[in-house]
Amino acid sequence: MDYRDVIVKACRDALGGKCLHVYVVGGAAEDRLTVLSDIDVVVVVDDPSCKSLDNIVAIKGRAEELGLPVDVQLDVKISTEEEFKQLIDRGMYRMVMEIS
């Protein structure tokens, strides 16, 4: 299982059917990762109540359980579809890569 599959499975395991899409943004999406980079992940959900620190911790923990090395740093953000579209429209993310 590659890292993308691990990240998507971790998100789906933690959030169930409320996880609509998983995107990589930032350096990983722009193909400019370095050894010091983190992987910026945006999880789009259908329920705003899913936007919690507990869910972010659950996603990261599950990713490690599934084999993501602890030295691979995930920066997970949880967003509704509307919020994510607004961030894209405002230029917050230059490149977006859907992995789910």
DSSP string across 29-97: TTT---TT--EEEEEEES-GGG-SHHHHHHHHHHHHHTT--TTS-EEEEEEEHHHHHHHHHTTS-S-EE
Average pLDDT along the chain, 100 residues, taken 10 residues at a time: 92 98 87 78 98 98 96 94 97 91
Q: How many domains does the chain have?
A: 1
Q: Which domain holds residue 50?
A: 3-98
Q: What is the CATH number of the domain that holds 84?
A: 3.30.460.10
pLDDT at 30 (0 to 100): 76
> Which pLDDT score is estimated for 2?
87
